[in-house]
Structures are given as structure tokens and as C-alpha cells.
Structure 1
Amino acid sequence: MPKRRLSGRQIERIQTIQDRRRQRLATRLDAAASDLDTESLPPARGRIVVRHGGHLAVEDEAGQIIHCRARQNLGHPVCGDHVVWHHTADQRGIVTAILPRDSLLSRPDFSGRDKPLAANLTQLAIVIAPRPEPSDYLVDQYLVAAEMMGVRAIILGTKMDLLSADEQHLFQARFAHYAEIGYPLTWISLRAAGAPQRLLGQFAGHTSILVGQSGVGKSSLIDVLLPDRGIQIGRLSQATGLGRHTTSAATLYRLGPGAETGGALIDSPGVRSFRLGIISRENLQQGFRELRPHLERCRFTDCRHDQEPDCGVQAALAAGLITPQRLNNFRHLLAESEQSRN
């Protein structure tokens, strides 16, 4: 018997019920945590490796994993957060503060509210492939998100072995304009000699997250970047019992051998349905970096860069300084955001 499809209102109602249940559980955990006397416990710094409900796996400065709970009214801790925590008598810990975040990746939930996914990223890696057919509109959404967060964005073209030499040339030329405006492009086939080393070189020293369409090969990239992922999951499970939940929760992993300058990768199922939320025209145009130098040349401060006279952005387009597809994607995103707002 085919499954009955749920309406948007039904999905939102289910989400609300689940949020209430989680809140009741969190309240009970907060009440238990608030009874602990943390004033007499020495504070320590750490980083959240994974969160599952009210449970946190925190890596301390020595690299040890501690099973913690969050103190009442702490806020919404997420994977990647730097925190202050205290040891408790049961050889576990309690997180008492979230340190200021350098960046935060979030996406809107069913009700349109921003849901944090991961904190303190330094790099967004956008994965494309010949198949499925890549969407430059989706790529531009990811790039806007990276610009808004203030993190580095790179584009990884995978599965190049699926194309002939001529097809590779045409495919890479299609995305060459991204390199021209400053986004690094790396074209790779994981079957080629030296591919793992080239890949690790793009991630070393960064806390990264992979984003992209389903089927582009993110799982294969993760296998190369994290050859010891199973060992890391086992370590998490042994220390906290949370390891079995890493397939359903954002988890921070240390990069595998070969990343000589260190680095980490956050694997988050939440980015599989990533999309931009409501965004203002001002913020959106700042998210298209090649538009910025021409904005002051627009006659009108609220210029939409469409049909307005004396538009600096349209003049730059005519001069070949901006690609038509990028400007079209800007206009589409602006219209979509305005429609969502109304």
C-alpha cells in the first residue's frame, strides 16, 4: 500500500510535537545538571565532537573524549563549538558555557527558523560531478552561505574519470569563471595516482564540511579523508556510548594520515537538505563577491540590478566583468527570498 504523503502543515505539526518532546527531555537533563556544584570544580576548555539530544561528546585539550551534559539555559550547543566544561564525580562532565563562535552554519527548519548545524568552520567544500547534472544555482547558494559565514570556499570536481579528455575540457570550462573570481577549483578522480594526497592538501589545517547534491561522491571523499573513521567512531563509543549515533548527528573527525598540518572534517547529515533561508537584498549582493566593487556605481541605493537605469552592476555585466549566469542566479535568489518573506 503506497504511503500517504504529508502536507506542509502536517509536517510542521509533527516537527512541533517532536520539538516539545525534546524540550521536555532537555528540561529534565538541565534540572539534573543544575543541581551539580560546579563552582568547586576546576574549569577546562574543550570542543564538542558530537551532540545527541542532551548528551555531548567533548574533546579536551589533551585529545581525550568526555561524556558531558549541558547546564541549564546554556543555549543551543552544536558540533564544533568551543566550550567551558567541568569534571563531575561520575567521571563525566558538565558544559557550563559556549565560547564565542567564529562561524556558524545553519539552515531553516520546517517553520522557517534557523537551525544551527555546525560551528567554527573555516572551509566549505562544494562537491560537483558530471553526474548527476550539476546545478550552478545550488553552487551559488553554497557560495553565498560561505561569504556570509566568512569562511573559505572551494569547489571540488569529482569523478573526472567518467569523462573523455574533450569532455573534461568542456566540463571544466563551464565552471572556470569561479576560479576567475577567486574560488579555488580542484578536479580529481579518486582512482588516479596521488589523488588522496592532493585531496588532503586542500583540507589540511582547516575545519571543513562537504556540501553538494546527492550522488556526487561525498561519501567516497569522506572515506579517503577519513581512512580511520571506524576507529574514531569506536573511540567515541567507548568513551561516551554516543558513537552509534554518529550516522544521524553532526560529528567532528580528525583528518587521516597525510594531513601533516592537522585539520578536521565535520560530517553532518543536515547539510544534505541545505538551502538558504530568507536573506535581505543587501546581504545577498554582498554574498556575490564580484558584485561588490560595482555597487557604489548604481544610481539607486535600492537597485536590484535588473532594469534600473545607471546600474553599475549591469554596466559591469556589459563589460564582461560579471558572468550572466551568476547575475541571473542573484536575481532568482532575491526573488525567491522575497517570495518567502511575503
Structure 2
Amino acid sequence: MAKRRLTKHQQWRIEKIQQERTTRANQRDVKLQEDLLGGEFGEEQSGLITAHFGIQAEVEDNHGERYRCYLRANLPTIVTGDKVVWRAGNQQNGIITALQPRTTELCRTDSFGRIKIIAANVNLLVIVFAPVPTPYANLIDRYLIAAQYSGIRPLLLLNKLDLVNQQNEQEIIELLDIYRQLNYQVLEVSTVMPETIEQLQLLLHDCTSVFVGQSGVGKSSLINTLLPAADLRVGSLSEATNKGAHTTTTAKLFHLPSGGDLVDSPGIRDFALTHTNKEVIEQGFIEFQPYLGHCKFRNCSHQHEPGCALLKAITDGNISLKRMDSYRHILESLMIDD
């Protein structure tokens, strides 16, 4: 007998029931843990979430010490990068009592279209691409939309600079020029050129950053270079050999020796934009912003309508036709109605 396939709604219902059961079990576990600790906690203090493991999270105190802590049952979702209020126990443990306000939330959508927060208080999104594999402006544009939507500053990072040659140089120059003309910050680096890595370290200083980009662009090599003790962290920071997949599902925060923090998470390899809409996509193309709302028709699709402000901006040379083509491709791929 063929196995009956569940509808998407049935799958959602099953997952929802499982989540509710898990939540109830977690609440019982937290209460049991509090009882076992006998309420012997220190004074409330501030802390930083450096990793999250179900009903527990790793909290770093103001002296750099890390504690495995339980979460109070009434707390909202806690993620890596969160700033919290917590109380230390007597065995390098403790309990988190409150979540402090976030400045940013880095999100993605799951298979059901629900928004999942994967890191908090990130202020730099490092978009990594390379001469090989061939970089695609449309993928870069998707990351830029995600950065704009999340309120996170983007840095476009061309890695493997040493692989630029006569065959690909002109294409790379034209690609970078598109974004430089839009005043995006662009940096060219290579792990075999120490002076370029020093420039990257300066830009990462005092930032909480996340690296994103397609497999093969050298994110793991960059991270290992930035973290001298990467041999201890390669399992969580690097892509598995030949597969481009992380060996961990936990987002972790590391302090860079040169200054700044790095959040590594398998949940940010790609940014699904299915939780957005046409307006979000338009705002993500920053050169569109002066013209939005100035079309003759309120529901202008920016395709062929008379009086379209964006089409006129293309004719006037104020918007690149390549960027408009990228915008249309993203709308089409997301099946967002015009």
C-alpha cells in the first residue's frame, strides 16, 4: 500500500502539536532544574548569548566566563547574540530571567513560510563571492534585500582575489562597479594576500558580523584565517569537505582576536525572501527609493506602463537596466504579483 502523503496544512498541524508538547516538557525540565539548584542563584546581571541549545543557552558574563544556563519558561525565543539578564548558579550554571531589547534581528523563513530569528544584534552582513564559482548579481541582490529588510549594514567581499585573470577580470570589474556606484562598501581580499586580510580585520573591528555566500566562495577559509585557533572550531565554522554543509545546527558567537564578534550559523547560508512582499523588494533596491510612489498608476508594475517613474529613471541613466532585470527576476521567482 502506498504511503499517504500529508498536505502542507496537515504537516503544519503535526509540527505544531509536537512543538506544544516539547514546550510543555521544556517548562517542566526548567522547573525541575530550578528545584534541583535549590534557588541558590546570585544577583541578576547582564550577559551575552554565545550559543543556544534547546532549553539551555550559553551565557557569557562581563568577564568573559561562559555558563550553561536554563531559560525561564515565560521568556520569548532566545537566540545567539541576544543580551539577557541572568543569575549565576554555583556550578558554572545559571538561569536566564529576562531578554533585553534587540537592535536587529537576522531572520529566515522555514519550509512553512514562518519567520525564524537566527541571530540578534548583528550589525554587519558580509556578502562573500569570488571569481570562482562565477558570481551572480541576482544572488548578491537577494542578500542586499535581506540586509535592508533587517536593518543590517552590508559589506560586499570579493574573495580569492588571486584568481582574477585575463579571462574574468573585465566581468569582475563591471560587477563591482555596479555596487560601488551605489555607494555600497566593497572590499577585495585573498587569504594568500595578508595585507588584504588586515583591511578586512579593520572593517570587522567593533562589529558583530555574519558571513553569507554560496558554497565554494571560501567563507570557511576566511573564517579560519580570522580565527587563528580555527583548528579547534573547524567543525562548526567550516563547510564539510566537498559538500558545502555545516556539521552543526547551532549558531555560535566567537570573538575575533583583532576585535569584533563573528556569528557562525548554518541557518544563514541563504536568505529565502518568501516572507517579504513587493514593497520590501523595491526598498531593497536602494536606487529605486527616490522614485517609488511617483508612478502615474498606484499599482504600477514597472514593466511597460506610461508614466512609470522607474522606467524614466532607466532612460535617464539613473537606474541600471541590469539592476531592473534583477529586480524583475526576483519578483518572478518569488511569484509576487505585480
TM-score w.r.t. length of structure 2 = 0.85
Counterpart check, 1:196 vs 2:193: no
Distance change >3 Å, CA 298–CA 90, structure 1 → 2: same
Task: Return the alpha-carbon distance in structure 2 between the equivalents of residues 8 and 190 of structure 1.
Answer: 48
Look up the match of 1:283.
Answer: 280
- How far 1:165 moved relative to its partner? 4.8
Structure 1 gaps of 5+ residues are 1-5, 234-244
- How far 1:186 moved relative to its partner? 1.1
Task: Return the alpha-carbon distance in structure 1 between the equivalents of residues 17 and 129 of structure 2.
Answer: 36
Q: Is the contact made by 1:86 and 1:95 (CA closer than 8 Å) also made in structure 2?
A: yes
Look up the match of 1:302.
Answer: 299
Give the letter aligned to residue 84 of structure 1.
Answer: V
Q: Is the contact made by 1:12 and 1:110 (CA closer than 8 Å) also made in structure 2?
A: no
Q: Is the contact made by 1:15 and 1:110 (CA closer than 8 Å) also made in structure 2?
A: no
Counterpart check, 1:42 vs 2:39: no
Task: Return the alpha-carbon distance in structure 1 between the equivalents of residues 141 and 232 of structure 2.
Answer: 35
Task: Return the alpha-carbon distance in structure 1 between the equivalents of residues 169 and 228 of structure 2.
Answer: 28
Alignment of 1:14-163 (within 5 A): 19=19, 22-23=22-23, 25-32=25-32, 41-163=42-164
Give the letter aligned to residue 293 of structure 1.
Answer: P
Look up the match of 2:253.
Answer: 252
Match for residue 262 of structure 2 among 236, 261, 265: 265
Secondary structure at the aligned position of 2:57 is classed as: strand
Q: 270-279 or 148-157, which moves further after superposition?
A: 270-279
- How far 1:323 moved relative to its partner? 1.3
Task: Return the alpha-carbon distance in structure 2 between the equivalents of residues 38 and 180 of structure 1.
Answer: 59
- How far 1:301 moved relative to its partner? 3.0
Task: Return the alpha-carbon distance in structure 1 between the equivalents of residues 40 and 308 of structure 2.
Answer: 60
Give the letter aligned to residue 299 of structure 1.
Answer: K
Structure 2 gaps of 5+ residues are 235-245
Look up the match of 1:239.
Answer: none
Look up the match of 1:315.
Answer: 312
Secondary structure at the aligned position of 2:292 is classed as: helix
Task: Return the alpha-carbon distance in structure 2 between the equivalents of residues 8 and 223 of structure 1.
Answer: 43
Look up the match of 1:334.
Answer: 331
TM-score w.r.t. length of structure 1 = 0.84
Task: Return the alpha-carbon distance in structure 2 between the equivalents of residues 266 and 55 of structure 1.
Answer: 18
Q: Is the contact made by 1:155 and 1:186 (CA closer than 8 Å) also made in structure 2?
A: yes
- How far 1:298 moved relative to its partner? 1.4
User: How many positions carry a matched residue from both structures?
Assistant: 322
Task: Return the alpha-carbon distance in structure 1 between the equivalents of residues 174 and 306 of structure 2.
Answer: 32
- How far 1:8 moved relative to its partner? 8.8
Deviations 1:45-64 (A, max 9, x none): 01100011112111111211
- How far 1:176 moved relative to its partner? 1.2
Look up the match of 2:243.
Answer: none
- How far 1:231 moved relative to its partner? 6.0
- How far 1:24 moved relative to its partner? 5.0
Task: Return the alpha-carbon distance in structure 2 between the equivalents of residues 317 and 230 of structure 1.
Answer: 50
Alignment of 1:204-223 (within 5 A): 204-223=205-224
- How far 1:66 moved relative to its partner? 1.3
Task: Return the alpha-carbon distance in structure 1 between the equivalents of residues 76 and 186 of structure 2.
Answer: 37
Q: Is the contact made by 1:252 and 1:267 (CA closer than 8 Å) also made in structure 2?
A: yes
Percent of residue pairs bearing the same amino acid type: 38
Task: Return the alpha-carbon distance in structure 1 between the equivalents of residues 330 and 273 of structure 2.
Answer: 9
Deviations 1:276-327 (A, max 9, x none): 2221222221111110011142123332222222111111111111112221
Task: Return the alpha-carbon distance in structure 2 between the equivalents of residues 40 and 222 of structure 1.
Answer: 37
- How far 1:108 moved relative to its partner? 0.8
- How far 1:170 moved relative to its partner? 3.1
- How far 1:218 moved relative to its partner? 0.4
Deviations 1:24-43 (A, max 9, x none): 54233333356578798421
Secondary structure at the aligned position of 1:31 is classed as: helix
